[in-house]
Chains A and B, each alone.
Chain A
Amino acid sequence: MTTTIELTAKDFKGVDPDWCPGCGHFGVLNSIQRAYADVGLQPHEVVTVSGIGCSSNAPGYINTYGMHTLHGRALPFATGVKMANHELTVIATGGDGDGYGIGAGHFTHAARRNVDITYVVMNNQIYGLTTGQMSPTSRPGLTTKSTPFGSIEYPYNPITSAIMNGATYVARGYSGDIRGTTKLIADGIRHKGFSLIDIHSPCVTFNLENTHDFFKQRIKKLDEVEHDASDWKAACEYAMEWGDTIYTGLFFEVESESLSQLDPILKEGGPIAKRSLPLTPEQADRLKSRLM
């Protein structure tokens, strides 16, 4: 028998973060820990998987099973964990460079597969750990160490991309809004299928444009405009807006069977990881007869 007791966010605390003071990621970390408690999870039932980057240090700061993996590869690792043991709750975390740059291919396909992973991206529109270069979500004109005359590239839109790729739960949060972000993450965990929660999480050291003040002046909640989250076209329109108003909240949600619900191999026999390894005599006989 395993233990089931009601836990609080504190029970999910790991080692203390070494992020810069004032980093937006503290708010996200707090929200993840609260969401785990709100959903009623136990630390050993959760695997928090990350790639590489400032935000990807999160698994060490969280008291669950953690995998701090390779740059851009959080989603494949997380997919492997989830498909081999679909009883586990699997959360992938990381940054915009990790998820939308080097890992963009995996993001597309994890969304398309509707694998039941909650993907929490701490989007600060900059490469922080490498000391300040343009990221896929940097806005045109942003001056960074790799774009001293300002970025001239069109920014990646995680929300519209996720919707187009088939994600079934797509939300945007802001790390300054812990209560709102916690709810988005918790609902994402409850959602069966691939959920993206893209969270604007300012880098106070290297992105001096997209600051807490910048977001505080612009953030507007979708709740205030009575957005219908089943309407993907409206969701994309709201997601494309980036000016005086930046929307947060649940953009899109649709009920659709997740990969583990669809794969016939999981209909019976329990999680792949818990299956007995040796072949049964009947299985071996079938393999032998196929040779003849």
Chain B
Amino acid sequence: MSGYDMAIAIGGEAGQGIATPGDILARLFVRRGLNFNSYNAFQSIVRGGHIFLTLRTTEETKYSHGDKLDILLCLNQDTMDKHLHFMKAGSKVIYNSDNITPGSAADGVQLCGLPIAELTGNARAGLNQNTVAVGAILYMLGLEFQVLKDSLTQQFQRKGEAIVIENVKVAQAGYEHAIKNFERFPDEIPMLSTPRGVWSGNDALAMGGAAAGVKFYAAYPMSPSTGLLHWFANNGRNIGAMVRQIEDEIGVANIVIGAAHTGARTLSATSGGGFALMTEAIGASSMMEIPTVYIDVMRAGPSTGVPTKTEQGDLWQALGASQGDFQRFIAAPLHAQDAFNLMAEIFNLTDRFQCPAIVLSDLLISEGHYSVDPEELDFFPTIDRGSTITEHAVGKTDYLRYKFTESGISPRAVAGLEGYVHVVATDEHEENSGLISDEFTNPHKRRAMVEKRSRKFENIVAEIAPPELVGPADADVTMIGWGSTFAAMHDSLALLTDRGITANFLSVKWIVPLHADKIAEVFANAKRTIIVENNQSGQFARYLRGETGLVPDGHIRKYDGEPFMPHHIADGVEDNLKNNTEQFIPFQEIVV
């Protein structure tokens, strides 16, 4: 049994206020302690276009927005025309019958027209249709009206009592219309013991940064990373952190290094295009051995690409970011809570190993919203600054910033301390920071310094946890993915079980360093291996082959801008088993 599983989609155009009913429903679900996640499919447009928000609430822990829709709320004709075909028996389609004509639905789909003008009895029908519809949905879910009344009061209290009264009134009209005309869903919506909250993946990254001690956030706005800038702008004063919007990502990336040189933990996030501008600075961070963390929230590229669509297309950009041959950390969090936990870990690693780190999130993780139990979050993680020096040493005269050590790590004095005055340089330098790049270039000194930096990464894989295989050990199929595909792979296991296929999966978070031995062991024990990734050319598959020589039995790839739904993966696995398909590319049914 998979327990309660309810998915609601709301479609309309930008400016129609889709977010508000989405927020109200999300809060209703998480207050009952239910698992929640949402995915918003939209376009880069402030007014108009087509938006399709999917909200899913489940009793069990699920990570994706699922495969089916139980309710489709059409705020315009376009939504009806585009998505009615997706609705299956037992589902309900809600629409404003004043101005939307229903199409022909599959058997067992209940078409639920709402005569909005009649129900609201005023001229603001267009504005109120969302609230009427939420009233109807509440009845269908089997909830008492009082629940919605409380929620609306909370949602609109800042706008004044008149607005609250109006919304409650029209919601009640929708609720009562539903009592008379529509059926409830048979499953009772559960009430679990611990209420939860809601956050987005960007919130998780930002909060993880805050818990890790980020006191300076610098950024240039770029979708889908801008949520972090907004989070720090709204919470900076609470946590004593400075927030600066900078003229471009080149400026951002270099400001981060300047601030880090004084000892501040500094963060920035961007998307692929901004990250491309940042890359020279990432090399500078390595050369000067100043710790930095950069987040790339990937979107569909290349170039401006599809700004509101997701893709795992920047892996090789991260691997090759900046000229030269140097060490960096690269991690792709698997889901929102993983992103939160990653931040403290990666800040500690960069402080200890004095090098840059890149976090690869993507639109799916970052802009998705999820239930979260704040009590499960560690807001006081261990903070390890390695051999960072932050105290004066009056009279000291023998400090060598780039001192040769066995580990390759040289104690790093932050700027402003007496006794440690030194220069950091992007030119190659010697132990005392003197440049060797120009007049006095010396191949032996150059080699020694390259080796010093590389020694830091000699046993680096021991510093991070290996990826974990999820699912039965002796499965028919082993899926391997990285980052955000965790969600759909996780949720596909139950589907595969229903189809008589046992599967397990390995989601890789740490790209560099890569737990090659662990992955090789998983391959060795697998009956059949399939790599799943959200790009066209198989960036991870090619990287894995380069690092380990491992080649899977098949690939499932998606690069249409939309994320995997679990059945896309199940279909691919089934096809691979039946037809030995080398590569499966699922068809995206929901088009926005």
Closest to B263 in A: A273
CB contacts under 8 Å to A, within B349-402, are 372, 374-375, 377, 379-380, 383, 392, 394-395
B133 at the interface (CB under 8 A from A): no
B439 at the interface (CB under 8 A from A): yes
B456 at the interface (CB under 8 A from A): no
User: Within the complex, what minimum Cβ distance (angstroms) separates A236 from chain B?
Assistant: 24
**How far is A73 from B255 in the complex, measured between Cα atoms in Å?**
9
Whether B213 lies near A83 (C-beta < 8 A) is no
**How far is A218 from B525 in the complex, measured between Cα atoms in Å?**
82
B590 at the interface (CB under 8 A from A): no
Closest to A18 in B: B439
Q: For residue B216, which residues in chain A have a CB less than 8 angstroms away from its CB?
A: 80, 83-84, 272
A225 at the interface (CB under 8 A from B): no
Q: Known: A65-B415, A68-B435. Contact between A277 and B251, CB under 8 A?
A: no
**How far is A273 from B290 in the complex, measured between Cα atoms in Å?**
14
A10 at the interface (CB under 8 A from B): no
**How far is A109 from B252 in the complex, measured between Cα atoms in Å?**
12
User: Within the complex, what minimum Cβ distance (angstroms) separates B414 from chain A?
Assistant: 7
Whether B255 lies near A77 (C-beta < 8 A) is yes
Whether A1 lies near B394 (C-beta < 8 A) is yes
Whether A287 lies near B207 (C-beta < 8 A) is yes
User: Within the complex, what minimum Cβ distance (angstroms) separates A150 from chain B?
Assistant: 31
Q: For residue B255, which residues in chain A have a CB less than 8 angstroms away from its CB?
A: 76-77, 79-80, 83
B264 at the interface (CB under 8 A from A): yes
CB contacts under 8 Å to A, within B237-289, are 237-244, 246-248, 250-266, 280-281, 284, 288
Whether A67 lies near B423 (C-beta < 8 A) is yes
A81 at the interface (CB under 8 A from B): yes
Q: For residue B417, which residues in chain A have a CB less than 8 angstroms away from its CB?
A: 44
User: Within the complex, what minimum Cβ distance (angstroms) separates B578 from chain A?
Assistant: 45
Q: For residue B262, which residues in chain A have a CB less than 8 angstroms away from its CB?
A: 80-81, 84-85, 88, 271-273
Q: Which of B251, B264, B372, B379 contacts A272 (CB 8 A)?
A: B264
Q: Known: A76-B250, A84-B259. Contact between A44 and B238, CB under 8 A?
A: no
Chain-A contact segment, one of B121-129, B171-179, B192-200: B192-200
CB contacts under 8 Å to B, within A1-23, are 1-3, 14-15, 18
Q: For residue B375, which residues in chain A have a CB less than 8 angstroms away from its CB?
A: 288
B150 at the interface (CB under 8 A from A): no
Closest to A73 in B: B254
Q: Known: A68-B427, A87-B416, A88-B415. Contact between A80 and B254, CB under 8 A?
A: yes
A264 at the interface (CB under 8 A from B): yes
Q: How many residues of B contact A (CB 8 A)?
A: 77
Residue from the set A75, A266, A291 with the largest chain B CB neighbour count within 10 Å:
A291
**How far is A70 from B288 in the complex, measured between Cα atoms in Å?**
11
User: Within the complex, what minimum Cβ distance (angstroms) separates B352 from chain A?
Assistant: 14
Closest to B206 in A: A287
A243 at the interface (CB under 8 A from B): no
**How far is A263 from B236 in the complex, measured between Cα atoms in Å?**
12
Whether A88 lies near B207 (C-beta < 8 A) is no
Whether A73 lies near B213 (C-beta < 8 A) is no
A162 at the interface (CB under 8 A from B): no
Whether A44 lies near B421 (C-beta < 8 A) is yes
Whether B247 lies near A277 (C-beta < 8 A) is no
**How far is A9 from B162 in the complex, measured between Cα atoms in Å?**
71
Q: Which of A2, A14, A80, A265 contacts B261 (CB 8 A)?
A: A80
Whether A81 lies near B261 (C-beta < 8 A) is yes
Q: For residue A283, which residues in chain B have a CB less than 8 angstroms away from its CB?
A: 238-240
**How far is A59 from B247 in the complex, measured between Cα atoms in Å?**
25
Whether B236 lies near A265 (C-beta < 8 A) is yes
**How far is A47 from B257 in the complex, measured between Cα atoms in Å?**
14
Q: For residue A84, which residues in chain B have a CB less than 8 angstroms away from its CB?
A: 215-216, 242, 258-260, 262-264, 266
Q: For residue A18, which residues in chain B have a CB less than 8 angstroms away from its CB?
A: 438-439
Q: Known: A44-B420, A80-B255, A273-B414. Contact between A292 and B195, CB under 8 A?
A: yes
Q: Which of A44, A59, A77, A271 contacts B257 (CB 8 A)?
A: A77
**How far is A47 from B416 in the complex, measured between Cα atoms in Å?**
8
Q: For residue B263, which residues in chain A have a CB less than 8 angstroms away from its CB?
A: 84-85, 273-274
**How far is A44 from B413 in the complex, measured between Cα atoms in Å?**
11
Q: Known: A109-B246, A292-B374. Contact between A70 and B197, CB under 8 A?
A: no
Closest to B248 in A: A105
Q: Known: A265-B236, A291-B374. Contact between A80 and B426, CB under 8 A?
A: no
Q: Which of A66, A79, A85, A278 contacts B424 (CB 8 A)?
A: A66
Q: For residue A44, which residues in chain B have a CB less than 8 angstroms away from its CB?
A: 392, 416-421
Q: For residue A83, which residues in chain B have a CB less than 8 angstroms away from its CB?
A: 216, 242, 244, 255, 259
Whether B264 lies near A291 (C-beta < 8 A) is no
**How far is A252 from B422 in the complex, measured between Cα atoms in Å?**
34
CB contacts under 8 Å to B, within A78-105, are 78-85, 87-88, 105
Whether B247 lies near A284 (C-beta < 8 A) is no
Q: For residue A264, which residues in chain B have a CB less than 8 angstroms away from its CB?
A: 237
Residue interface bits A105-126, CB-to-B below 8 A is 1, else 0: 1101100000000000000000
Closest to A129 in B: B438
**How far is A40 from B198 in the complex, measured between Cα atoms in Å?**
54
Q: For residue B425, which residues in chain A have a CB less than 8 angstroms away from its CB?
A: 59-60, 66-69
Q: Known: A60-B434, A66-B424, A87-B416. Contact between A78 and B259, CB under 8 A?
A: no
Whether A279 lies near B210 (C-beta < 8 A) is yes
Q: For residue A109, which residues in chain B have a CB less than 8 angstroms away from its CB?
A: 246-247, 251
Closest to A264 in B: B237
Whether A63 lies near B421 (C-beta < 8 A) is yes
A42 at the interface (CB under 8 A from B): yes
Q: Known: A44-B416, A77-B254, A277-B215. Contact between A286 and B238, CB under 8 A?
A: yes
For the complex of A and B, the 8 pairs showing the least CB-CB separation, nearest first, are: A80-B258, A277-B213, A291-B197, A66-B423, A76-B254, A84-B259, A80-B255, A284-B379
| Interface residue ranges, B against A (CB under 8 Å) | 195-199, 203, 207, 210-213, 215-216, 218, 235-244, 246-248, 250-266, 280-281, 284, 288, 372, 374-375, 377, 379-380, 383, 392, 394-395, 414-427, 433-435, 438-439
17 pairs of residues in contact across A and B, judged by CB atoms under 8 Å = A59-B425, A68-B425, A69-B425, A70-B280, A73-B281, A77-B258, A80-B254, A80-B256, A83-B244, A85-B263, A105-B251, A264-B237, A272-B264, A278-B380, A287-B207, A292-B197, A292-B374
10 more contacts with CB within 8 A, not counting A67-B425, A81-B261, A85-B262, are A49-B258, A60-B434, A60-B435, A65-B415, A67-B258, A68-B423, A68-B424, A70-B284, A264-B237, A272-B264
| Interface residue ranges, A against B (CB under 8 Å) | 1-3, 14-15, 18, 42-45, 47, 49, 52, 57, 59-60, 63-70, 73, 75-85, 87-88, 105-106, 108-109, 263-266, 269, 271-275, 277-279, 283-284, 286-288, 290-292
